[in-house]
Amino acid sequence: MTAELRVTRLRTYPVKSFAGNDVESAAVEPWGLAGDRRWGLVDDTGKNVTARMVHHLLGLRADVVDAETIRINDRAGASITVSAPAGAAAIPVGFSGLDRATPAPDEANAWISERIGVSLRLVWQQDPTARPIAEKHGGLPGESLSLADDGPLLLVTEASMRQLNEWIAADQTLPDVPDLDPGDLSGATAASKPLDIVRFRPNVVVDGDVPFAEDNWARVSIGGVEFRRTVLCDRCVMTTIDPSTLEGGKEPIRTLARHRRWDGKTWFGIRLAPVNFTPGSAATIAVGDRVEVGV
């Protein structure tokens, strides 16, 4: 019998590739959670820049002030408030499925660039309906997403995280799998303690059930809000960066490659899209909500 499932954490990422925030509740929009990844970063040519390439982006964090304003914070305690650049001309960007976005004021760009050491531009996704979920990532006609990768929400489970940490501890003395891609690793060190689930940058964390049961969930109801699984989530080098120290390593990719690799990728978590959703509705999910699943 399946154990009762509950939401144990909710997280949002106002700026793509910055550190995330725990929240007690979040409004659900057709393209994801309110306040999640409506802002992103590009270089001087408009190519999108993420923590995959610039790991220290994870050292900055943004708080939502209101629907169109964020406050960006560094680890030294400095901050800058940025409002959505209404009226500014959109610039070319390289996000998949989105070729134009609205740039933030130069002051914000300079503030971020100084701290990261790379010339960057902060951009805002003005119209969240303009970026479709790709068909290859399980998208259906009319579905859209924020600047998140592949799907509106990412769900992971504590049961799967516990199993992964057990595998990591048990496999420490084993050699790396022979065809482990160096591009999926950010350093050469092995994990010396259990990994924090925030490495996987989830929106929704669920307790209970058996490890990786979520692979087979086709439908998920969270506090009565209905979602469908679009795809399983393949994992990249970002998961190997310690979110506290920003130091790189091999885990969890090293161990996932031994236990959870197929089609040339490693897998952890599932992507969700809202279903039967009416734009403008007051759908909200919260920590403690009951989670019901269908396969």
Which residues have CB under 8 Å from 116's CB, separation 6+?
54, 56, 57, 60
**Which strands sit side by side in the sheet containing 61-66, from one edge to the other?**
61-66, 69-73, 79-83
pLDDT at 2 exceeding the cut of 60: no
CA distance 100 to 73: 26
- Number of domains into which the chain is organized: 1
Give CA separation, 210 vs 136, 160, 163, 179, 271, in Å: 28, 7, 9, 29, 18
- Would you state the pLDDT for residue 216? 96
pLDDT class for 68, splitting at 50, 70, 90?
confident
Cα 230 to Cα 54: distance, rounded to the nearest angstrom = 28
Is pLDDT at 87 greater than 90 in this prediction? Answer: no
pTM score, whole prediction: 0.95
What whole-number distance in Å separates Cα of residue 70 and Cα of residue 62? 6
Q: Which of 293, 122, 121 is nearest to 221 (CA)?
A: 293
137 or 282, higher pLDDT? 137
Give residue 82's pLDDT band: very low, low, confident or very high (50, 70, 90): very high
ω before 182 within 30° of 0 (cis)? no
Rounded Cα distance between 70 and 66, Å, is: 7
SS3 108: helix
**Per-residue model confidence as pLDDT tens digits over 102-130:** 999 999 999 999 999 999 999 999 999 99
Beta strand residue intervals within the chain, DSSP E: 5-12, 21-23, 25-29, 32-33, 39-42, 61-66, 69-73, 79-83, 91-95, 98-103, 121-124, 153-157, 204-206, 219-222, 225-234, 261-262, 265-274, 284-286, 290-294
Lowest-confidence region among 45-49, 155-159, 190-194 = 190-194
User: Identity (one letter) of the amino acid at 248?
Assistant: G
* Angle formed at CA 271 by CA 265 and CA 276, multiple of 5 degrees: 150
Which pLDDT score, from 0 to 100, does residue 135 have?
95
Residue pLDDT, tens place only, 140-149: 999 999 999 9
Give CA–CA dist 63/71, Å, rounded.
5
Q: Which residues contact 46 (CB under 8 A, 6 or more apart)?
A: 91, 92, 93, 94
Question: Is residue 84 scored above 90 in pLDDT?
Answer: no
Looking at residue 179, its amino acid is D
Q: CA 121, CA 105: separation in Å to the nearest integer?
A: 9
Determine the Cα–Cα distance for residues 36 and 272; give it in Å rounded to an integer.
14
**Mean pLDDT of the chain, nearest integer:** 94
120, 113 Cβ separation under 8 angstroms: yes
Q: Which pLDDT score, from 0 to 100, does residue 159 have?
A: 98
Q: Which domain holds residue 117?
A: 5-294
User: Residue 270: pLDDT above 80?
Assistant: yes
